[in-house]
Chains A and B, each alone.
Chain A
Amino acid sequence: MTRVVAKDISKIYGATKAVYRAHLEAKDSEFVTILGPSGCGKSTTLRIIAGLIRADEGKVYFDDKDVTDLSPNMRNIGFVFQRVALFPHMNVRKNIAFGLKARHYSNEEIGRKTKEVLSIVQMEGYENRAPSQLSGGQAQRIEIARVLATDPYVLLFDEPLSNIDAKLRDELKFEIRKIQRETGKTMIYVTHDQGEAFAISDRIYVMSQGIVEQVGTPTELYTDPSTPFVASFIGQNNFVTGTVKTSDPASDTGTILAGGIEIHTHIPHEHALGDKVTACIRPEDIEILPEARQGSKGATRARIVESIFLGNTTRLHVDANGTILKVDLRGPERFSYLNAAGKDITLDLKKCSVIRAE
């Protein structure tokens, strides 16, 4: 159980800032995920924490110990790679024993530890198998067992499930989370898959172009994105840019005038009257109002342009006074709008997050 801090780390390749002044912290026994698109610097950050890449600036601490200048073999970490890195010339038992031998464990301890970690990943009986005799999921489990055996301070995962088929990926991500809960290890996990990140993380660092855009719990990131990038990267969003028309500082509510529509919503106090802002409205947060509520404050008239049935959702494209919005309908309501193009409806847009316009 270790607290990991990467303090203001930077890695610059020529003119490219792979990571720039990123600050990341994983508390004791916390499951932290670094989420971002390809090339955003998430793997570089993880490799700096592991000591596989040397940062140009910044420090890495395990608890209060500065490990910046230590090589990976001196940091007591476990690293699970994107590609299974089991040594092909060793069987499962020897692969697990490798790290233990490097730490001078006795043969008896190695045998006991091997059994213990294989039981954690539910792979008992596979000791004598060669890596080539394992499926992708089994190999990744053994890889996790191998790093767990060495009792590392922190486990680092670099997109470990990206080469595994979707069904198995779903199972394994929850298994990793379960292992984390059972062992209480601090884990830092890198992925570009937000579903994966949301399912297993205590907190998520969203990165883009080498910088940390936002840190928060999955719920915070989803409901209250603080930058346009996070708003567009996490889930689906309608972006409506306009100006703050009215504002009530007492209740932090107000009106945004955007194109032909008015949005009555919560407006953070840092946005003053006349400020240019963007309202981020999730398609599933837009409500189609029944007739009885069509005159209520904030109701917006719109016409359905297109209706697309997606199975568990019906996606509507609606025209609200010239602004095209996506609306997702779930539950039985989704069947009521299958052939609704041209129909006039009233929308409630108040559930949105407001950020400064770019």
Chain B
Amino acid sequence: MRASSAERVKDVISYTYVLLISGLLLLPFTVILMRSLTVTLPDGSTTFSIKPYFDIIDAFWPKVYLSLSIAITTILIDTAIGVPAAYALVRYNFRGKKTLFTLLNGVWYVPGICYALSLIITYYFLYKWFLGYWGFIAAYTCGFLLLMLMTCIVAFRYLDPCYEESASCLGAGRLTTFFKVTLPMVGPGVSAGILLTFVLSFNEFITALLLNLATRLQTAPVRVYADVTRARVLPSISAEAATLQLISLAVVLIYLKLVGTKYLRGVVLI
């Protein structure tokens, strides 16, 4: 009896803790969501309305499309580069492998603002023709390649080489083995890289802000920042921020539902 009540107390404490943490994490989003749905009427009273979401269609959604386009193009290029590179890094030994890993990790320790600034200077002096959409893509591809690499490296390391060896002994060539055995088996790991690259590139702000000065291209997060600094936190601006969060949240939830958390372990989030 005593053990049972002790268990109950333990459960209550555990659930309270989890709820508290969840509440803290969700609080900013809840506040933004509430603000975006609260409209002030001409008589000064307030009411709930989804009108702010309609108000932003013309001005904000093109920025969302631009951000989506940049994120998706970045994902495509990073996947094309990252998957084979991670495979080579895991499966083959070569001189300087450790140094290469250290250098790749170095990207994490460079402050975003310095990274963005160095890119702009580079573009100005070397590739002025890069000052546009493809400048963004180049910056994001370099910046987020490591994410894709790391998740794919984790996935390839999880994969026992005996499957590939088995395919080879059964008569399959390298390409057949890679596309029919290796890739399907590391699919969840690659998709984790895609997820992280999407969430971070879609919401990326610092580099986008500085590149906005140079390229005149304004992504959705930069638009939210510009609107906030210009007109404070109006319901329509809150609707912009909530839209960005909802898109990211939907993508993450779909991923977790389909794949789970296994391949995110040891990477960034979990």
Contact = CB atoms under 8 A, between A and B. Distances in A.
Interface of A: 50, 52, 71-73, 75-79, 81-83, 85, 87-89, 98-99, 102-103, 146-147, 150
Interface residues of B, number: 17
Contacts, number: 60
B169 A79 contact: yes
Contacts of B180: 98
Nearest to B170: A99
Interface string B181-212: 10011000000000000000000000000000
Nearest to B184: A89
B171 A71 contact: no
Chain A contact surface mostly: loop
Contacts of B170: 73, 78, 98-99, 102, 146-147, 150
B7 interface: no
Contacts of A81: 162, 165-166
A192 B181 CA distance: 30
A79 B166 contact: yes
A71 B165 CA distance: 11
Interface in B159-176: 160, 162-163, 165-173, 176
B163 A73 contact: no
A317 B172 CA distance: 57
A150 B180 CA distance: 18
Interface of B: 160, 162-163, 165-173, 176, 180-181, 184-185
A290 to B, nearest CB: 57
A83 B160 contact: yes
Contact of B165 (A72, A78, A87): A72
Contacts of B169: 50, 52, 72-73, 75, 77-79, 147
A52 B171 contact: no
B168 A85 contact: no
A99 B163 contact: no
A73 B167 CA distance: 8
Contacts of A99: 170-172
A79 B163 contact: no
Given A79-B165, A83-B160, A87-B163, 10 more contacts: A72-B165, A72-B169, A73-B172, A77-B169, A81-B166, A87-B181, A89-B185, A98-B172, A103-B171, A147-B170
B171 A85 contact: no
Q: Lowest 3 A-B CB distances belong to which pairs? A: A99-B170, A102-B171, A85-B166
Contacts of B184: 87, 89
Residue of A52, A73, A99 most packed against chain B (CB within 10 A): A73
Q: Which of B162, B169, B181, B184 has the most CB of A within 10 A?
A: B169
